[in-house]
């Protein structure tokens, strides 16, 4: 049974032009111990999906779904109090821009103190301080911070983004969550530290069997770190399946375009030649096209594309397109 | 091929404080020497704090060098003469969202360098703005828009157009592609490559995305803590990296 099972999740909000579907019937499932990548450009609603899973969207957003189950429990029917219990303990989230999600007024050590699960503490009142310090030290070492003394004493602005991100991860794993949602964990981090963060996720996944939903805007990042990917465009699921399969043979023109925009994916491409690119840009939420939202930018679009295509399945590989790429076309590039 | 830009022993030091009333300096960059030819692209790669942004800023004149020589078409660039270089070397900034003034129309934004650096009459300036907008694949109507009315990819095109306004010979792009979405990024790469072919521009790319660097550049310079670690033909460096640091950098970035 999948750990997280989402079927037809829609997220809407009211605007002066009527109700707008920012996320339109997205399907997603994560098995225990799996790392799934969720890839999409900015404004494709991937962060919204993450927040909907956590239950931290505010009242302006209307979340509806045929199924939104975590470990067999329907999240949408839970009360706010019950949901809060899951939040942080079972499902944890690492936010974008770690240095701005940490409290700038407080030392990192103090913030780590606050985030420890005190119900696990079984020592007497007088030994608690020591116990906490030991735990924090252990967590910091676990995420690969060696000089824990300096880090605990410093304020978030004194540390680099990479270290801040590691501190955030240390906070989330203190409760030993079963599902970790990482929302663009590496976008603001320099290249060298990115690799460390991904390695850390991989280690958590293997040692503690944490399932991870890795949200990113860049396909390059997920290629070597994830087992399965879901690609989103403008709030619609475009394609999902095993990473290897998708990289070898994409069915959807959008995935194909993303892959082709990575120069190293295309080996025959000579240096300084023109890359294949989709024309136009991502539409804004106020001017979404009807039907398949890739429609106006898609090189294969036809009259039929004004209807939303159904999800199709080929060997465990889902895609939604009326005119998918055939096997030869997909392989040729 | 004639040499467009020649840099000899360029260094930059920052004063970090005093010790016994003697100023102490820390070298942030250099010594760096390279030559850039017409229609060539030089890429500067390195980790954060390696001095790649400092190099870019010195070249466009946003920062003063400590020592060294910059020769543009055989002519010395003086340390303080900004007028001289700001028309021949232009820069594209990292984030188009924040580098365009939100209170100005795009037409006025693009007109500004012409106002400051030339004495063109306003009719000609307008014509020039329209020309440049067409060149980067936008319409003359876009001149009446405000920056928030267009998309991220188009904003980056405006940033390119602004860099092109004074017909420069060299464009310095400081991480100009890393904030763009994937499908838009290849559009901008295509645009830059097209402009290079048409106008014979030279680029200096500062980037950490190795895959893009590999595609666009002729020469690559690898910096670490301000020192040049490896410099040479792009294919040579990428296929046979000689230095451990370069190898690590390549490996880190998904190879």
What pLDDT score does B127 carry? 92
Distance of CA B126 to the CA centre of its chain: 26
Nearest residue of A to residue B175, measured between CA atoms: A190
> Phi/psi at B203 (nearest 5 deg)?
-120, 145
All structural domains of chain B: 3-96+169-251 (3.40.50.300)
Distance CA B198, CA B205 (A): 18
Rg, C-alpha atoms of chain B: 19
Distance CA A251, CA A10 (A): 24
Mean pLDDT of B163-192: 83
Give the residue from B136, B175, B181 with the most A CB atoms within 10 Å of its CB, the best one to mutate. Answer: B181
CA distance A121 to chain B (A): 40
Q: Under DSSP, is residue A62 helix (H, G, I), strand (E, B) or coil?
A: strand
What pLDDT score does B129 carry? 92
What pLDDT score does A329 carry? 65
Under the banding of pLDDT at 50, 70 and 90, the label for residue B86 is: confident
| pTM of the predicted model as reported, rounded to 2 decimal places | 0.79
Under the banding of pLDDT at 50, 70 and 90, the label for residue A86 is: confident
Q: Mean pLDDT check: name the lowest of A245-249, B5-9, B85-89.
A: B85-89
Q: Is the pLDDT of residue B47 over 80?
A: no
Q: Within a 10 A sphere around the Cβ of B136, how many other Cβ atoms?
A: 22
The token pair at B174 is 């400081």
Q: Is the pLDDT of residue B209 over 70?
A: yes
Estimate the crossing angle of helix B152-164 against helix B122-135, to 10 degrees.
Answer: 130
Q: Under DSSP, is residue A24 helix (H, G, I), strand (E, B) or coil?
A: strand
Give the residue from B43, B183, B200 with the most A CB atoms within 10 Å of its CB, the best one to mutate. Answer: B183
The token pair at B60 is 């466009």
Output B109 or B244, whichever has higher pLDDT. B109
Mean pLDDT of A269-292: 75
Q: Is the pLDDT of residue A301 over 50?
A: yes
The token pair at B107 is 């037409």
Within 8 A of A42 by CB-CB distance, chain B residues are 152, 181
Contact B183 A277 (CB under 8 A): yes
Within 8 A of B40 by CB-CB distance, chain A residues are none
Give the residue from A42, A163, A187, A191 with the most B CB atoms within 10 Å of its CB, the best one to mutate. Answer: A191
Output A192 or B243, whichever has higher pLDDT. B243
Q: Which of A184, A179, A209, A208 is nearest to A198 (CA)?
A: A184
What pLDDT score does A327 carry? 66
Contact A191 B252 (CB under 8 A): yes
Strand ranges, E, within B63-156: 67-72, 75-76, 89-92
**Which residues are bridge partners to A319 per DSSP?**
A239, A312
Contact B215 A195 (CB under 8 A): no
Strand ranges, E, within chain A: 4-15, 18-30, 35-39, 61-64, 67-70, 73-74, 91-94, 179-183, 211-216, 228-233, 236-242, 312-314, 317-319
- Residue B222 and residue B210 in contact, taking contact as beta carbons nearer than 8 Å: no
Distance CA B46, CA A59 (A): 45
Q: Which of B218, B223, B213, B253 is nearest to B234 (CA)?
A: B218
Distance of CA A4 to the CA centre of its chain: 13
Give the residue from A277, A279, A288 with the most B CB atoms within 10 Å of its CB, the best one to mutate. Answer: A277
Q: Which of B165, B155, B89 is nearest to B125 (CA)?
A: B165
Distance CA A229, CA A238 (A): 11
- The rounded percent of chain B whose pLDDT value lies above 70 is 95
Q: Which helix (H) or strand (E) holds B195?
A: helix B182-199
Under the banding of pLDDT at 50, 70 and 90, the label for residue B79 is: low
pLDDT digits (tens, 9 = 90+) for B196-207: 888 888 999 888
Q: Which of B100, B96, B91 is nearest to B205 (CA)?
A: B91
Q: Which of A95, A94, A108, A97 is nearest to A158 (CA)?
A: A108
The token pair at B176 is 């100009």
What pLDDT score does B95 carry? 77
Distance CA A236, CA A20 (A): 13
Under the banding of pLDDT at 50, 70 and 90, the label for residue B245 is: confident
Looking at every residue in chain B, the average pLDDT score rounds to 84
Distance CA A68, CA A150 (A): 42
Under the banding of pLDDT at 50, 70 and 90, the label for residue B240 is: confident
Mean pLDDT of A147-158: 89
The domain locations on chain A are 4-90+175-265+272-331
What pLDDT score does B125 carry? 92
Q: Which helix (H) or strand (E) holds A258?
A: helix A253-260
Q: Which of B184, B208, B252 lies closest to A281 in CB terms?
A: B184
Most confident of A120-124, A279-283, B60-64, B132-136: B132-136
Which ipTM score applies to this complex?
0.72
Which positions 3-42 of A are in contact with B (Cβ < 8 Å)?
A: 41-42
pLDDT digits (tens, 9 = 90+) for A56-82: 888 888 988 898 888 888 888 888 888
Which positions 256-315 of A are in contact with B (Cβ < 8 Å)?
A: 257-258, 260-264, 269, 271-279, 281-282, 284, 297
Q: Does A220 touch chain B (CB under 8 A)?
A: yes
Q: Which helix (H) or strand (E) holds B117?
A: helix B106-117
Nearest residue of B to residue A294, measured between CA atoms: B183
**Which residues are bridge partners to A229 per DSSP?**
A37, A241
Q: Which of A192, A220, A262 lies closest to B252 in CB terms?
A: A192
The token pair at B189 is 């790469």
Sheet holding A211-216, edge to edge: A91-94, A179-183, A211-216, A35-39, A228-233, A236-242, A317-319, A312-314
Output B91 or A194, whichever has higher pLDDT. B91
Tokens 């735990």 belong to A135
Q: Which of B157, B175, B168 is nearest to B201 (CA)?
A: B168
Longest dimension (CA), chain A: 73
- Residues found in chain A: 333
Contact B234 A260 (CB under 8 A): no
Fold of A4-90+175-265+272-331: Rossmann fold (3.40.50)
Mean pLDDT of A276-284: 74
Q: Which of A195, A261, A276 lies closest to B185 in CB terms?
A: A261
pLDDT digits (tens, 9 = 90+) for A217-275: 877 778 888 889 999 888 888 889 998 888 888 888 888 888 877 766 655 667 777 77
Mean pLDDT of A76-103: 85
Q: Which of A195, A262, A275 lies closest to B190 in CB terms?
A: A275
* Angle CA A148–A181–A204, to nearest 5: 50
Most confident of A287-296, B89-98, B165-174: B165-174
Within 8 A of B255 by CB-CB distance, chain A residues are 264
Q: Is the pLDDT of residue A168 over 80?
A: yes
Contact A277 B186 (CB under 8 A): yes
What pLDDT score does B255 carry? 44
CA distance B251 to chain A (A): 9
């Amino acid at each position: 049974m999948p750990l997280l099972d989402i079927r037809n999740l829609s997220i809407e909000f009211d605007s002066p032009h009527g109700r707008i579907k920012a996320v339109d019937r997205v399907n997603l499932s994560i098995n225990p111990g799996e790392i799934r990548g969720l890839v999409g450009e900015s404004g494709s609603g991937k962060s919204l999906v993450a927040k909907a899973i956590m239950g931290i969207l505010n009242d302006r957003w209307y979340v509806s779904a045929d199924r939104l189950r975590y470990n067999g429990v329907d999240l949408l029917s839970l009360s706010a109090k019950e949901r809060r219990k899951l939040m942080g303990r079972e499902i944890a989230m690492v936010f974008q821009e770690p240095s701005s999600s940490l409290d700038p007024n407080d030392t990192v050590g103090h913030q780590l103190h606050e985030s420890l699960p005190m119900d696990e503490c079984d020592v007497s009142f007088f030994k608690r301080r020591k116990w906490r310090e030991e735990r924090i030290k252990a967590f910091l070492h676990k995420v690969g911070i060696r000089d824990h003394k300096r880090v605990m004493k410093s304020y978030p602005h004194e540390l680099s983004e990479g270290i801040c991100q590691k501190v955030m991860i240390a906070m989330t794993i203190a409760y030993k969550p079963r599902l970790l949602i990482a929302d663009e964990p590496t976008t603001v981090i320099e290249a060298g530290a990115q690799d460390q963060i991904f390695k850390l996720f991989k280690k958590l996944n293997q040692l503690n069997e944490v399932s991870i939903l890795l949200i990113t805007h860049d396909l390059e990042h997920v290629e070597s770190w994830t087992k399965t990917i879901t690609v989103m465009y403008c709030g619609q699921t475009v394609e999902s399946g095993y990473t290897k399969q998708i990289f070898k043979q994409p069915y959807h023109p959008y995935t194909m375009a993303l892959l082709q925009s990575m120069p190293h994916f295309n080996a025959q491409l000579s240096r300084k030649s023109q890359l294949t690119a989709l024309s136009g840009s991502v539409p804004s939420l106020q001017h979404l096209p009807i039907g398949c939202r890739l429609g106006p930018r898609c090189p294969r679009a036809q009259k039929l594309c004004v209807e939303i295509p159904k999800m199709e399945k080929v060997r465990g590989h889902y895609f939604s397109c009326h005119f998918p790429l055939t096997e030869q076309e997909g392989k040729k590039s | 091929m004639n040499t467009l830009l020649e840099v000899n022993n360029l260094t930059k030091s920052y004063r970090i404080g005093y010790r016994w009333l003697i100023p102490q300096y820390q070298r942030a960059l250099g010594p760096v020497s390279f030559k850039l030819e017409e229609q060539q692209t030089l890429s500067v790669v390195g980790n954060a704090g390696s001095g790649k942004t400092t190099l870019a800023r010195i070249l466009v004149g946003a920062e003063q060098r400590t020592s060294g020589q910059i020769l543009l078409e055989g002519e010395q660039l003086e340390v303080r003469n900004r007028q001289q270089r700001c028309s021949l070397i232009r820069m594209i900034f990292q984030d188009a969202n924040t580098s365009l003034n939100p209170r100005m129309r795009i037409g006025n934004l693009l007109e500004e360098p012409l106002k400051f650096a030339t004495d063109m009459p306003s009719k000609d300036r307008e014509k020039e703005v329209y020309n440049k907008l067409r060149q980067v694949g936008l319409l003359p109507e876009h001149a009446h828009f405000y920056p928030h009315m267009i998309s991220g990819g188009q904003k980056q095109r405006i940033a390119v157009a602004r860099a092109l306004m004074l017909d420069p010979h060299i464009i310095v792009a400081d991480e100009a592609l890393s904030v763009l979405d994937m499908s838009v990024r290849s559009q901008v790469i295509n645009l830059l490559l097209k402009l290079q072919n048409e106008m014979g521009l030279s680029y200096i790319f500062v980037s950490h995305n190795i895959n893009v660097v590999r595609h666009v550049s002729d020469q690559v310079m690898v910096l670490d803590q301000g020192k040049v670690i490896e410099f040479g033909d792009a294919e040579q460096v990428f296929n046979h990296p000689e230095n451990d640091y370069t190898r690590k950098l390549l490996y880190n970035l998904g190879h």
